[in-house]
Amino acid sequence: METTSPARRLCRLHDMPDGEAMALDVPLADGEESLILLRRGEHVSAWLNICPHAGRRLDWSPGKFLLSKGMLVCAAHGACFGVDTGECVSGPCKGESLRAVPVRVEQGEVLLDLE
């Protein structure tokens, strides 16, 4: 018998614009954190909304992100992060990465894995 790991519902997949990123404030074990959720088709990637360069949020306005040529761009210092890996490919934190957050999509719901 297959069991799934404990999860918390974040949002509905179809409420997320395809190809865009959004911010979502979520209570985690260490307190409330802002997450970046990026939808590409039926897949969602998630990271903490913290630039490894200066510890600032990446959004230029609350919940609004710059996406350019397949890169998520930090509004504060212009660091560019690949949307596949979260790795910084240019800017002041080149070689560092956004901290990934485990999410999955089940039955049209985006779930945060709690394990």
Summarize pLDDT for 41-65 with one digit per residue, the tens: 999 999 999 999 988 999 999 889 9
Is the residue at 6 inside a domain? no
Query: In one letter, which amino acid is 97?
Result: S
Is the residue at 106 inside a domain? no
Number of structural domains found in the chain: 1
- What domain range includes position 57? 14-100
Distance CA 34, CA 1 (A): 35
The CATH number for 41's domain is 2.102.10.10
Residue 23: band (very low, low, confident or very high) from pLDDT cuts 50, 70, 90: very high
Per 3-state DSSP, the chain is made up of helix, strand and coil in percentages (nearest 5) of 5, 50, 50
Query: In one letter, which amino acid is 84?
Result: D
Distance CA 105, CA 72 (A): 21
pTM score, two decimals? 0.89
What are the residues whose beta carbons fall under 8 Å from the beta carbon of 115, sequence distance 6 or more?
5, 6, 102
